[in-house]
Amino acid sequence: MGIAERKARERVHRRNAIVDAAEDVIFKHGFSVATMAQVAKAAELSKGTLYLYFKSKEELYRAIILRGFVILKKMLREATKEGKTGYDKVIIVGKTYVEFSEKYPNYFTTILDYENDTFNLAAAEAESLQALEEGNAVITILVRAIREGVKDGSIIEQGNPFDTAFVLWSQFTGVLQVMKRKINIIEHYFSLTKEDLLSTHWRMIERMLK
């Protein structure tokens, strides 16, 4: 191994270690409270060294978001292989998203933050662009399922499949966000469970697409 290659590997290793440390800090304290100083301490680095790898806390957070999207994309690709029709695959996407939110609650929270984030594409750093690309890849899986459903007749044509996909994704995310943050209140005051909300959600999706 040459010196340049070894240094490149060391840089990748250290960068991943920084993101690992950032996850520990941010998942424990929350993004708004966590500081770069805390991340540097957890990674056993000076703040100056940390800033050589990530210029801001936002850039570092988007590296975590990127990890979440990579995991979600892999789960969706594997799960949708089991669908027989396009409609089946749309429902599988939604149910896999539910599974992801339960199995990886911290990454799910980062994706909720991503949905509320605004990106300046003209000034976006590489980390943000990669997160955007992975987020777009997730939506594309849903778009393909919709197109397949229209083609095989399991979904009524709605027009632009990207339009339909973004509406569906917004519905999926909205329901999961309510379940994550308000379910105790909903159960207490309205006697509705997560299962009740999801059952109604799937019925509404079916009526919209069939």
DSSP per-residue letters across 57-89? HHHHHHHHHHHHHHHHHHHHHHHHTT-SSHHHH
Q: What is the pLDDT of residues 135-144, one digit of tens each?
A: 999 999 999 9
Mean pLDDT of 39-64: 94
> Is there a single domain that holds both residue 49 and residue 68?
no
> Is there a single domain that holds both residue 205 and residue 123?
yes
Residue 103 tokens read as 């199995």
CATH number at 13 reads: 1.10.10.60
What is the C-alpha separation between 2 and 9, in angstroms, rounded?
11
Among 27, 54, 81, identify where a domain stops.
54
When the pLDDT of each residue in the chain is averaged and rounded to a whole number, the result is 91
146: containing domain? 58-209
CATH number at 104 reads: 1.10.357.10
Residue 110 tokens read as 């980062």
Long-range contacts of 99-103 (CB under 8 A, 24+ apart): 99/75, 100/71, 100/72, 100/75, 101/176, 101/179, 101/180
Number of compact structural domains in the chain: 2
> Is there a single domain that holds both residue 34 and residue 83?
no
Q: What is the pLDDT of residues 58-116, one digit of tens each?
A: 899 999 999 999 999 999 999 999 999 999 999 999 999 999 999 999 999 988 887 66
Dump the DSSP string for 118-143. Answer: ---TTT--HHHHHHHHHHHHHHHHHH
